[in-house]
């Protein structure tokens, strides 16, 4: 493991008094201390919302949404483009808050900022086209005219986790707002300040007050109140909590989209460029300290390439610079909390005690920071170990030898999850064919996760216990709308016409249906 990154941060811990006023909470609200992962010290006292605060936020949101839905889509898009510019211009503020709240490396914080900009630009440019009324084929051409229009669902609830708190609050809110909805965001208490920063940028961009509201507090109480109030839920988090959210939405018969956990696999084929494969694997496994739903936790390497891959991969892992300080210069930050550190450490310690071998890492680093954990690579992991089956959500990857592509696909698919995967190969056609055999929502050929996630025009979601629905792509905006069909009958109707009796009219209709087939209609 490389020495800690040597950097003078010059980055002050954000107190955020103005941002703390952005939360929907009473002046005398109870507070909880938010702990900085870098230091273990209190970052700020977070005011906690109550179900009554959620109700008040909902009333304001519904009033604002009724006016917002009448605003032309192109004007909504202009506001989102101004939001894009503000996020980019004030990115250093955002990165400061992200680092202090999450403990991530600054380059991982920048990734969030750029993602929000890309998503905002994509939807702002395309919303007018996606939301315009569309003509649809009619039951009887000429005699019936049919239009499909899109209406906002009303108020969207976004329940965002702590690992990518800027991306998963702002980037989901942008398409919901463009579709004409109001948004209530319930971030994780640990990362609520960045959500308040997002609210401030929306207001500065010209978004009317009341359309984007941040409520704070724990999931079961405040998150539950949000689900019980809104018209659609976007949730990102664990599979266990996702089930609870889905059941609660189902009882109310409202829609939801859920991006949940993953135990993602990378396949390194025999023909892979192993220097490049090692570089990709380091980024795919240890970005954001492995606290990424779409990162790689299992690496299946063809037996012919295994030894050389390990010889190239492990030195790169050992050279990663780990730091518990804000600013540039680190390859990896720290974990979000001591509780999460305990989970990661338990997975590794259990595996090692049962016979797995750490080729790199395998220990916490309190000398660096209270939640620091070395990037870890394990060999000899068995299927009965938790680190093989359960999502670790930390800087831990396991290596496995495989005989051929078929075995790699079988093992990669042998999981209850199905979020993301990676195939490393020189033969792109073979890689794409192998990718199509994997049971996941996305597959990256010669990348870990950035190619699919960053391609905002393509849908992003999971199968199995990795979720329901998708973000990104056209569906990532249209999910926040209701379809309405307006059919206009002209001239003749569907009942007997022209004085014909039922039998004769039925024969005429039958002949018309047959003619439509012959005409290719």
Distance CA 390, CA 387 (A): 6
Find the catalytic residue in 249, 256, 293, 388: 293
pLDDT of the residue at 512: 82
**Is there a single domain that holds both residue 291 and residue 194?**
no
Phi, then psi, of 424 in degrees rounded to 5: -110, 120
> pLDDT tens across 287-344, in order?
999 999 999 999 999 999 999 999 999 999 999 999 999 999 999 999 999 999 999 9
Q: Is residue 518 part of a domain?
A: no
**Is there a single domain that holds both residue 172 and residue 307?**
no
CA geometry: angle at 386 spanning 380 and 388, to 5°?
50
Mean pLDDT, rounded, of the chain: 94
**Is there a single domain that holds both residue 269 and residue 192?**
no
Distance CA 237, CA 256 (A): 13
**Is there a single domain that holds both residue 416 and residue 272?**
yes
**Is there a single domain that holds both residue 224 and residue 280?**
no
pLDDT of the residue at 15: 57
Share of the chain above pLDDT 70, in %: 97
Q: Is residue 519 part of a domain?
A: no
Tell me how far the alpha carbon of residue 70 is from its chain's centroid. Answer: 29
**Is there a single domain that holds both residue 230 and residue 138?**
yes
How does DSSP classify residue 285?
Answer: H
**Is there a single domain that holds both residue 174 and residue 204?**
yes
Q: Is residue 151 part of a domain?
A: yes
Q: Is the pLDDT of residue 138 over 50?
A: yes
Place of tokens 């249209």: 478
Residue 271: CA count within 13 A, CB half-sphere: 10
Q: Is residue 8 part of a domain?
A: no
> pLDDT tens across 482-501, in order?
999 999 988 777 778 778 88
How does DSSP classify residue 492?
Answer: S
SS3 at position 481: strand
Give the E-state strand segments of 18-133 in sequence order.
31-35, 42-47
The count of domains in the chain is 2
Q: Is residue 9 part of a domain?
A: no
Q: Is the pLDDT of residue 6 over 50?
A: no
- Catalytic site includes residue 259: yes
Q: Is residue 502 part of a domain?
A: no
**Is there a single domain that holds both residue 224 and residue 360?**
no
DSSP character string of 291-335 = --TTSEEEEEEEHHHHHHHHHHHHHHHHT--B-SSSSS--SB---
Share of the chain above pLDDT 90, in %: 86
Comparing CA positions, the residue from 223, 235, 167 lying closest to residue 195 is 167
Q: Is the pLDDT of residue 159 over 90?
A: yes
Distance CA 96, CA 194 (A): 10
C-beta separation of 47 from 192 below 8 A: no
- The neighbour count for residue 275, using CB atoms within 10 Å, is 13
**Is there a single domain that holds both residue 293 and residue 254?**
no
**Is there a single domain that holds both residue 282 and residue 235?**
no
Distance CA 78, CA 313 (A): 46
**Is there a single domain that holds both residue 131 and residue 165?**
yes
pLDDT of the residue at 141: 80
> pLDDT tens across 427-472, in order?
999 999 999 999 999 999 999 999 999 999 999 999 999 999 999 9
Place of tokens 């089956």: 389
Q: Is the pLDDT of residue 89 over 60?
A: yes
Q: Which domain holds residue 41?
A: 17-260+474-481
pLDDT of the residue at 137: 86
Q: Is residue 86 part of a domain?
A: yes
> What CATH number does residue 120 fall under?
3.40.605.10
> pLDDT tens across 233-277, in order?
999 999 999 999 999 999 999 999 999 999 999 999 999 999 999
Q: Is residue 341 part of a domain?
A: yes
**Is there a single domain that holds both residue 329 and residue 383?**
yes
> What CATH number does residue 346 fall under?
3.40.309.10
Report residue 13's pLDDT band, with 50, 70 and 90 as the boundaries: low
Find the catalytic residue in 111, 112, 259, 297: 259
Report residue 8's pLDDT band, with 50, 70 and 90 as the boundaries: very low
């Amino acid at each position: 493991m490389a020495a800690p990154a040597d950097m003078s941060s010059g980055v002050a811990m954000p107190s955020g008094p103005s941002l703390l006023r952005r939360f929907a909470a009473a002046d005398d609200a109870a507070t909880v201390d938010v702990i900085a992962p870098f230091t273990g010290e209190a970052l700020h006292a977070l005011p906690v919302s109550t179900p009554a605060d959620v109700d008040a936020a909902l009333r304001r949101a519904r009033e604002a949404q009724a006016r917002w839905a009448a605003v032309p889509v192109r004007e909504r898009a202009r506001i989102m483009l101004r939001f894009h510019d503000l996020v980019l211009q004030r990115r250093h503020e955002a990165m400061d808050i992200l680092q202090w709240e999450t403990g991530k490396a600054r380059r991982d914080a920048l990734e969030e900022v750029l993602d929000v900009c890309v998503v905002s630009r994509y939807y702002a440019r395309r919303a007018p086209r996606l939301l315009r009324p569309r003509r649809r084929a009619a039951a009887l051409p000429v005699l019936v005219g049919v239009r499909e229009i899109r209406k906002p669902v009303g108020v969207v609830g976004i329940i965002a986790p702590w690992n990518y708190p800027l991306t998963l609050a702002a980037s989901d809110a942008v398409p919901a707002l463009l579709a004409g909805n109001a948004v209530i965001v319930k971030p994780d208490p640990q990362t609520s300040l960045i959500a308040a920063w997002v609210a401030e940028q929306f207001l500065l961009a010209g978004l009317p007050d009341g359309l984007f509201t941040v409520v704070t507090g724990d999931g079961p109480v405040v998150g539950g109140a949000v689900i019980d109030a809104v018209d659609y839920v976007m949730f990102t988090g664990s599979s266990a909590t996702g089930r609870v959210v889905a059941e609660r939405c189902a009882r109310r018969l409202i829609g939801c989209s859920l991006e949940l956990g993953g135990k993602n696999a990378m396949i390194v084929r025999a023909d892979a460029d192993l220097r490049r494969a090692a570089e990709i694997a380091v980024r795919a496994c240890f970005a954001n300290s492995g606290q990424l739903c779409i990162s790689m936790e299992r690496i299946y390497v063809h037996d012919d390439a295994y030894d050389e891959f390990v010889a190239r991969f492990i030195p790169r892992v050992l050279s990663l610079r780990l730091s518990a300080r804000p600013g540039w210069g680190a390859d990896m930050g720290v974990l979000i909390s001591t509780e999460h550190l305990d989970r990661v450490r338990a997975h590794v310690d259990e595996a090692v005690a049962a016979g797995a071998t750490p080729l790199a890492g395998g220990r916490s680093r309190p000398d660096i920071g209270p939640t620091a954990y070395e990037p870890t690579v394990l060999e000899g992991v068995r299927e009965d170990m938790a680190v093989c089956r359960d999502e670790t959500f930390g800087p831990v990857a396991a290596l496995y030898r495989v005989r051929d592509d078929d075995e790699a696909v079988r093992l990669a698919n042998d999981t209850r999850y199905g979020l993301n995967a990676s195939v490393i190969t020189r033969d792109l056609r073979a890689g794409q064919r192998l990718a199509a055999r994997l049971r996941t929502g996305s597959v990256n050929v010669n990348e870990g996760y950035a190619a699919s996630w960053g391609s905002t025009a393509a849908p992003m979601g999971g199968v199995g216990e990795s979720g329901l629905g998708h973000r990104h792509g056209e569906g990532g905006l249209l999910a926040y709308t209701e379809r309405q069909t307006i059919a206009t009958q002209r001239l003749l109707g569907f009942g007997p016409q022209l004085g014909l009796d039922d039998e004769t009219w039925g024969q005429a209709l039958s002949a018309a249906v047959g003619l439509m087939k012959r005409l290719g209609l």
